[in-house]
């Protein structure tokens, strides 16, 4: 009897050990990827991809052209950073035209001060964190070609479109350096995601778009140093989503509320876009859902 009971106990222990080993090694079948529930987002368009290999993870009207608002500035920054022999410490003198422009358009601005000398690096922070249209104008004027400001701006916008074509994007067109378009400034969730993925290959861009706050010290007309008010990043995901590394917000009467987003967890990076959401809070909620879904898909 004791022998039989001992054998039963040994068999039971063996079963328990086997089950434990299976759990420890993950041998118990994991839920298949397709079992992850596809999220519902409020934004009219959305796209998410695996940044490592470009594989699509989520699409919602991903190739429908829409106004992009200030997510346009991702391309503005990319064009600047791709200039040959770029000197990020080169100084640009802020012109009255830049200030007049943001006032006339009631546009988001970095509050740059006319006559101050600001470095290209600082202008990129002013472009991407507070979404300064004055910084965008300064960069377009600096890096476009031509004898007049208007010609230089058009030249710079031409570079933005040339870059889009070089990336193989057929649903993207820019007619502005900042997203305040003239009726022909558009992209798609898929295209914007690809632009951002390309831009993120640049270390300076990566550093800027994950920065929550930045204080520039500029040089005034008289040669003294001015400490600017801190520029705060409009991308709230940097504070609310673990692993968030960028990228850029956008908004406008036609664009509504947009967000190009990226995050890295466990060595995996998910990047995506939502266009035409209903509020700043909702675009962040939409993006959070899509990031969670993307990471769940990647496992």
Q: Does the active-site annotation cover 70? A: yes
Q: Does the active-site annotation cover 78? A: no
- Cα of first residue to Cα of last residue in the chain, in angstroms, is 50
DSSP string for the chain? -HHHHHHHHHHHHHHHHHHHHHHHHT-SPPPPGGGSPPP--SSSEEEEEETTT--EEEEESTT--B--GGGGHHHHHHHHHTSTT--TT-EEEPPHHHHHHHHHHT-------TT-EEEHHHHHHHHHSS--HHHHHHHHHHHS-SSSHHHHHHHHHHHHHHHHHHTT-SS-B-S-SSS--SS--BB-HHHHHHHHHHHTTSHHHHHHHT-SEE--EEE-TTS-EEEPPPEE-S-THHHHSTTEEEEEEEEETTTEEEEEEEEEETTEEEEEEEEEESSHHHHHHHHHHHHHHHHHHH-
Q: Does the active-site annotation cover 240? A: no
Cα–Cα distances in angstroms (integers) from residue 201 to residues 51, 83, 87, 88, 198, in the given order: 11, 15, 18, 17, 6
Cα distance between residue 27 and residue 20, in whole Å? 10
Return all residues near 286 (Cβ < 8 A) that are at least 6 apart. Answer: 41, 42, 43, 46, 259, 274, 277
Q: Which two tokens stand for residue 50?
A: 């695996």
Active-site entry in 70, 108, 197, 251: 70
Active-site entry in 60, 67, 78, 131: 131
Active-site entry in 60, 67, 73, 248: 73
- Which are the catalytic amino acids? 70, 73, 131
């Amino acid at each position: 009897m004791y022998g039989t009971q001992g054998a039963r106990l040994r068999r039971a222990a063996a079963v328990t050990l086997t089950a434990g080993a299976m759990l420890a090694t993950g041998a118990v079948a994991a839920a298949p990827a397709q079992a992850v529930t596809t999220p519902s987002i409020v934004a009219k368009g959305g796209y998410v991809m695996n940044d490592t290999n470009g594989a699509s993870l989520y699409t919602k009207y991903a190739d429908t052209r829409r106004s992009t608002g200030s997510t346009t500035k991702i391309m503005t920054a990319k064009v600047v950073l791709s200039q040959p022999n770029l000197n990020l410490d080169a100084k640009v003198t802020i012109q009255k035209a830049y200030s007049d422009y943001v006032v006339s358009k009631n546009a988001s601005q970095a509050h740059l001060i006319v006559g101050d000398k600001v470095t290209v690096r600082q202008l990129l922070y002013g472009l991407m964190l507070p979404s300064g249209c004055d910084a965008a104008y300064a960069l377009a004027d600096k890096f476009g070609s031509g004898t007049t400001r208007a010609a230089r701006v058009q030249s710079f916008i031409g570079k933005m479109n040339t870059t889009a074509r070089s990336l193989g994007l057929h649903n993207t067109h820019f007619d502005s350096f900042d997203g305040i378009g003239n009726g022909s400034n558009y992209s798609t969730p898929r295209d914007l995601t690809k632009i951002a993925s390309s831009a993120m290959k640049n270390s300076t861009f990566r550093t800027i778009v994950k920065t929550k706050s930045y204080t520039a010290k500029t040089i005034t007309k008289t040669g003294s140093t001015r400490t600017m008010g801190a520029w705060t990043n409009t991308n709230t995901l940097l504070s609310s989503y673990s692993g968030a590394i960028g990228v850029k917000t956008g908004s406008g009467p036609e664009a509504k509320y947009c967000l190009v987003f990226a995050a890295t967890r466990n060595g995996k990076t998910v990047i995506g876009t939502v266009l035409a959401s209903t509020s700043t809070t909702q675009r962040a909620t939409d993006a959070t859902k899509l990031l969670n879904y993307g990471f769940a898909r990647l496992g």
